[in-house]
Amino acid sequence: MEQLSSPLSRPIDIQDITEFKDKSDLELEINRAWRRDESECVETLLEQTEIDQEISDKIYQLAFNLAHSLRERKGSAGKAGIVQGLLQEFSLSSQEGIALMCLAEALLRIPDKATRDLLIKDKINQGNWKDHLGQSSLMFVNAAAWGLMLTGKLMETPKANSLSGLLTGILARSGRGIIRKAVDVAMRMMGEQFVTGETIDEALNNAERLEEQGFRYSYDMLGEAALTDHDAERYYQDYTNAIHAIGKASSNKDVYEGPGISIKLSALHSRYQRSQIDRVHDELYHKVFNLAVLAKQYDIGLNIDAEETDRLEISLELLERLCFEPKLNGWKGIGFVIQAYQKRCFYVVDYIIDLAKRSQKRLMIRLVKGAYWDSEIKKAQVEGMTDYPVFTRKVHTDLSYIACARKLLAEPDFIYPQFATHNAQTLATIYHLANPEQYYKGQYEFQCLHGMGEPLYEQVVGSKADDKLGVPCRIYAPVGNHETLLAYLVRRLLENGANTSFVNRIADKTLKIDELIENPHQTIDVTSRIEGKVGLKHPAIPYPKHLYADHRPNSLGIDLANDQDLEHLNHTYQQWSKVQIKATPMGLRLDESVHDTESMAILNPANHQDIVGEVTETHAMQVEMALVNATEAQQDWQNLEKDQRAEYLITASNVMESRLEELMVLLSRESGKTFANAIAEVREAVDFLRYYAAQVKDLEHKAVIQPLGTVLCISPWNFPLAIFTGQIAAALVTGNTVIAKPAEQTPLIASIAVQILWESGVPQSVLQLLPGRGETVGAQLSSDHRIQGIMFTGSTEVAKILQKTVSKRLNQFGQSIPLIAETGGQNAMIVDSSALTEQVVLDVVSSAFDSAGQRCSALRILCVQEDNAHTVIKMLKGAMKQLRVGIPSLLKTDIGPVIDREAKQTIDQHINKMKSLGYPVQQLMRDQDDSHLNQGTFVKPTLIELPHLDDLEREVFGPVLHVITYKYGELDRLIDQINAKGYGLTMGLHTRIDETIQTVISKAEVGNLYINRNIVGAVVGVQPFGGEGLSGTGPKAGGPMYIYRLMHECTHKKIAQPYATSQGVELTEHQNLLNQYKDWVNKSFPHYQMKALQPSCVGHSYELQGPTGESNQYVVLPRHRVLSLADQEIDQIHQLHAILAVGSQPTVLGENTFVLKYLPSMPKEVAQRIAIIADIETGSFDAILHHGTKNQLLKLQDKVAQRQGPIIGITHLEPSNYDIPLERFFIERAISINTAAAGGNASLMTMQA
């Protein structure tokens, strides 16, 4: 590898990756605090929140009185009290509470009765409702427990053989409509507790009762974030209509006395994010401005709601523009929400005060604690951030709240503070910090959520003469129908159920009031004395870097929403965007052997005018020299301590991580990756290096590894760094020398990866790079007898060619040449009518179109239940219209090019064929003018609606999604049809019904199953990746079994408890059959001593460590059928023992003399378990265990290579050798479940403070 040109300092003709604005010192301070160390933040906040003892005593007394009165207060009357009782009885830490939350989230939006009944049955059957009988003082809650228990019994599938079962069945059939109606009413009642009205007029009417008591209102029009222009326009009209209605109802009150409106910017624009900053300013801002002008006409307040942390700084940009609009002069109704749980909040207050002064406005600032805490924690972990943007301890948020409140109260001429809290201690602190003796009308107000805070604020709102505090409270009042309230409702249920929630804790009579109202200073002080330092993060929430505990560090990412990170990336881009790199054969003295070689230009697939570099194809003489080098280096490399080899990989991972941005730029130019995809790819490469290094170091020190020898790694162009590095890392660390042949389209990034590994200590003869075409360099290497193993990722067709090539020879140990092949897939996602459409569409778009659909795991077939197909497809088309196709080095680009002209031509041919067959085909993107795409090889995102699955014959490797529909009740048949395609890589499922999840888990024959999430982006060690059937041979890359396939032998393997897994849960029990067989052998062959087998993990499920809000399961199952081939009786006995021990079905040829002789005497169950096939060429089996001679093995290999269908692996042993590697007969499956899909992360929210 060499550079043909040097990095540039800053050429003026290179476009920036995104728009940047100059930031003030206050804005820079906000940015610097984004992920500041929690302890450092807390120390600063403690200094700013010192309160003298006299005021502290007053705060304590008021907080005690408020909390005591609240606890002793009679429960709310009517529906509100009933719902509060339900929430207290069925807490989120119970299975019943989770079931109720899931019901509330999904039931009302499901369009068909059959799926609704299935959801009710599914959730009600999960609960142990008997335990809740008689536990509540509210009769309705006890009735609910009775009803839910009865419903569970009625919805059960009755046992037909009993009279009671028959009667239950009749009642169930006649009563399901009644049950459905009752549960529906209960869910609507729960919704009404938190929603003020279904329409703005209804809400205004419902608000009158509390307005008469002195409460004020701010209305929020409910709904999910918009994904389409249609949705955004609908929300805009809802806000417009609401402002007119609120304005007319405000009766000429001012912004402080009258009602107001809260707007959610993500509802007004489908791309409210940093990457689309141009559209945010050009399109979204004008909507906000128009709504503000309208609100000014009525003199009502308009609050911009706070959302996720990565939207804070762009929302401040919009606020700044709004404040300087001449049309809004003289209006005091501009409002903005800030979140105390953000580490930046303290500095946001400074900026807002300064903005108010500069624009001569008095701004309405609502201070909240924050509502997206669990998702912020997960996002930081997933993206490998340096720290969290939010406090990990509730008490630190409480402290931040007080510090920010103090600043806001200190600027009464420029800030009208609105303190949103349900916490009596926080309320009391604000009240006394504001100096109640000098309170004046319009100084500040409190706020609470409708349905949550009214009981507390009944003690606050009203005259002091009536023993109230005399401070106004505004109720945040959601408005919307029952279908739109679901996401909001679950968020409220989570907040109510959170263990740190005051609303939850006040109801817990076991907690003393003093514990509820402890001053944050006191709590922090006590904790710091225990932990030895002030303000440490929550011990149960690891830093993103420590996500994998002691096993290995998490790879570091870049925040593409953070201008500081973007500026740095932009600088790197300017330096490296014109650098040209030359890839040549790399290895010991390879550059000395051949001189007259031609080079080929490597073009940027997005812009063919950009020559990224050039590559020199490896000459046949260089291939020979590389093979000699590798063979000579093998002994020294395998003799090196395993831990030393691992250290080289760890060093390389650190170097690669330090060069993240440079590698991103090259990936973007050479393979057309967007920056988001490029970050993920470099991180995956780093993770591979660390995972395999850590796994080998985890093996016992005395473990002896016998490697295969020289391994050929053939990697693809779609992950030219990650898969390339993963293959090499696994082979190197297990003691093999490596010859790597990168994809013809992407040799440049491969050459840099090799250079990094060389610099990290790997000798040049141990790792060599031979760029070139498959039919020349690849063919010469794969057919050479010195190649002892092949790792391949690519097409199924090429994998079969490689299988035939290696079938003609054996390795140095007289074994079959190991071929690890990871090939394509016809990946499907099944969506039933209980799924949340917005969630489905987001996951479908990322799964099908991200990386221009050029992932092995990408979604190819979307299967939607008929009942919600119209809604899903309509929203999907709208979301596709938001996608920007173009130059991947621009931050605004969603989809880059396909890799080359050949790829584009193949995809276009398929699309044209589908059109010619009359199927509806739509190609949709943001800019319908596609003239800017002529410089590269682009394919527009394409949606093809098919009548049935059979119309799709082969994988289309690009941004093309096929859609079919299925009827309720056809799920089993649909999965059978998908399985029948023969591929088995990835599958997705969107549902809220656990029974459906279990059905798909048990029936789907895929390596990676994703539930209620997207189906791409498998993380090393978290979702080990690889398929079965036509999709690959196994073992899974980034999984615990992979390295063993690269060893000829290894003492002290860890296959009983796989690496980096939790304690296993047994799934299948086959011990009885095995014991029957062993007993039979002992009786029938007393002179034979069967060798004990190594314990294994087969038949177990393990939890893999990963981000919060996910369950990542690693499941080890037996291969279905293992063909047993042996001449000697004793060999056959051991083979059957091994096959039964893993739980596979022993399969034999019809002429098997052992089975013909002994089958009649075998135990009946064992005999019935043995399958007999006619011949090897056509028989059904998916692995072979062979004892015999080398000549027999060669003949067997030739027969197996001629078979149609999946590649079958042969495990060969010499006669009388019974060290059978059981892991060869495993099927590994990874199941990743988004456990927060129903609206929030209950496990994180219910964590102890």
Instruction: List CB contacts of 429: < 8 A, sequence separation 6 or more.
Output: 51, 59, 63, 402, 405
Residue 960 lies in a domain: yes
Do 50 and 104 fall within a single domain? Answer: no
Q: Is residue 85 pLDDT above 90, yes or no?
A: no
Closest CA to 301 of 362, 233, 356, 351: 362
Q: Check the CA dihedral 1157-1161-1166-1172 and report its sign.
A: positive
Please give the DSSP secondary-structure letter assigned to residue 16: P
CB 451 within 8 A of CB 422: no
**φ, ψ (nearest 5 deg) of residue 906:** -65, -45
Q: Is residue 1018 pLDDT above 50, yes or no?
A: yes
Residue 85 lies in a domain: yes
> By mean pLDDT, which of 516-525, 587-596, 936-945 is the weakest?
587-596
> pLDDT tens across 887-897, in order?
999 999 999 99
Tell me the CATH number at 970: 3.40.309.10
pLDDT of residue 12: 54
445: its two tokens: 């107000």
pLDDT of residue 113: 92
Alpha-carbon gap, residue 270 to 880, rounded angstroms: 11
Query: Which residue, of 149, 175, 191, is where some domain finishes?
Result: 191
Report the largest interatomic distance among the alpha carbons of the chain, rounded to a whole angstrom.
103
Do 689 and 788 fall within a single domain? Answer: yes
337: its two tokens: 């929400």
| Overall average pLDDT of the 1050-1060 stretch | 96
Residue 203 lies in a domain: no
Alpha-carbon gap, residue 1114 to 1126, rounded angstroms: 33
The CA–CA distances, whole Å, from 561 to 275, 309, 569, 677, 1134 equal: 7, 9, 12, 15, 60
Query: Which residue, of 510, 525, 544, is where some domain finishes?
Result: 544
Alpha-carbon gap, residue 508 to 503, rounded angstroms: 9
Q: Is residue 224 pLDDT above 90, yes or no?
A: no
Range of the domain at 1165: 1055-1233
> Residue 1204: how many CB atoms within 10 A of its CB?
8
Closest CA to 377 of 1240, 1249, 1034: 1240
Residue 1005 lies in a domain: yes
pLDDT of residue 534: 98
**Where are the extended beta strands (E) located within 480-571?**
none
Residue 609 lies in a domain: no
| Overall average pLDDT of the 39-62 stretch | 97
Q: Is residue 166 pLDDT above 80, yes or no?
A: no
> pLDDT tens across 748-762, in order?
999 999 999 999 999
| Overall average pLDDT of the 641-658 stretch | 98
Query: Which residue, of 140, 173, 191, is where some domain finishes?
Result: 191
Closest CA to 375 of 274, 304, 316, 307: 307
Q: What is the 3-state secondary structure (H, E, C) of 1181-1243?
A: CCEEEEECCHHHHHHHHHHHHCCCCCCCCEEEECCCCCCCCHHHHEEEEEEEEECCCCCCCHH
Instruction: List CB contacts of 1186: < 8 A, sequence separation 6 or more.
Output: 1125, 1126, 1192, 1193, 1196, 1210, 1211, 1212, 1213
Do 717 and 632 fall within a single domain? Answer: yes
Residue 25 lies in a domain: no
pLDDT of residue 502: 74
pLDDT of residue 951: 87
pLDDT of residue 146: 43
Do 1130 and 1214 fall within a single domain? Answer: yes
**Where are the extended beta strands (E) located within 174-305?**
216-221, 260-263, 302-304
pLDDT of residue 70: 86
> pLDDT tens across 973-1013, in order?
999 999 999 999 999 999 999 999 999 999 999 999 999 99
Residue 1 lies in a domain: no
> pLDDT tens across 1131-1167, in order?
999 999 999 999 999 999 999 999 999 999 999 999 9
Residue 1196 lies in a domain: yes
Q: Which positions are annotated as active-site residues? A: 822, 856
Closest CA to 117 of 149, 156, 86: 156
pLDDT band at 158 (very low <50, low <70, confident <90, very high): very low
Query: How does the average pLDDT of the chain come out, rounded?
Result: 92
Burial of 29 (0-12, 13-18, 19+ CB in 10 A): middle
Q: What is the pTM of this model?
A: 0.96
Count of domains for the chain: 5
Q: Is residue 935 pLDDT above 70, yes or no?
A: yes
Which carries the bigger pLDDT value, residue 378 or residue 139?
Answer: 378
Which carries the bigger pLDDT value, residue 192 or residue 799?
Answer: 799
Query: Of all residues in the chain, what percent carry a pLDDT higher than 70?
Result: 90
pLDDT of residue 188: 72
pLDDT of residue 492: 64
pLDDT band at 176 (very low <50, low <70, confident <90, very high): low
Alpha-carbon gap, residue 1032 to 796, rounded angstroms: 8
Closest CA to 1085 of 1154, 1022, 985, 1152: 1154
Alpha-carbon gap, residue 637 to 706, rounded angstroms: 11
pLDDT band at 5 (very low <50, low <70, confident <90, very high): low
514: its two tokens: 């003093």
Do 159 and 304 fall within a single domain? Answer: no
| Overall average pLDDT of the 425-430 stretch | 97
Do 1112 and 1059 fall within a single domain? Answer: yes
Tell me the CATH number at 779: 3.40.605.10
| Overall average pLDDT of the 453-468 stretch | 92
- Bridge partners, 165 (sequence order): none
> pLDDT tens across 537-562, in order?
999 999 999 999 999 999 999 999 99
Do 895 and 1022 fall within a single domain? Answer: yes
Do 971 and 855 fall within a single domain? Answer: yes
Alpha-carbon gap, residue 534 to 221, rounded angstroms: 41
Concatenated DSSP letters of 727-791: HHHHHHHTT-EEEEE--TT-HHHHHHHHHHHHHTT--TTTEEE----IIIIIHHHHT-TTEEEEE
Do 346 and 453 fall within a single domain? Answer: yes
1238: its two tokens: 């129903």
pLDDT band at 584 (very low <50, low <70, confident <90, very high): very high
> By mean pLDDT, which of 484-488, 639-643, 1110-1114, 1166-1170 is the weakest?
484-488
The CA–CA distances, whole Å, from 533 to 18, 43, 479, 530 equal: 41, 10, 45, 8
pLDDT of residue 119: 87
pLDDT band at 138 (very low <50, low <70, confident <90, very high): low
pLDDT band at 944 (very low <50, low <70, confident <90, very high): very high
Tell me the CATH number at 437: 3.20.20.220
pLDDT of residue 505: 79
1147: its two tokens: 């399969």
Note the helical H segments in 4-37.
Answer: 25-32
Do 1099 and 1177 fall within a single domain? Answer: yes
pLDDT of residue 814: 97
- Helix 675-698 and helix 722-733: axis angle, to 10°? 10
| Overall average pLDDT of the 913-929 stretch | 93
Do 405 and 381 fall within a single domain? Answer: yes
| 329 three-class SS | coil
Do 259 and 363 fall within a single domain? Answer: yes
pLDDT of residue 167: 37
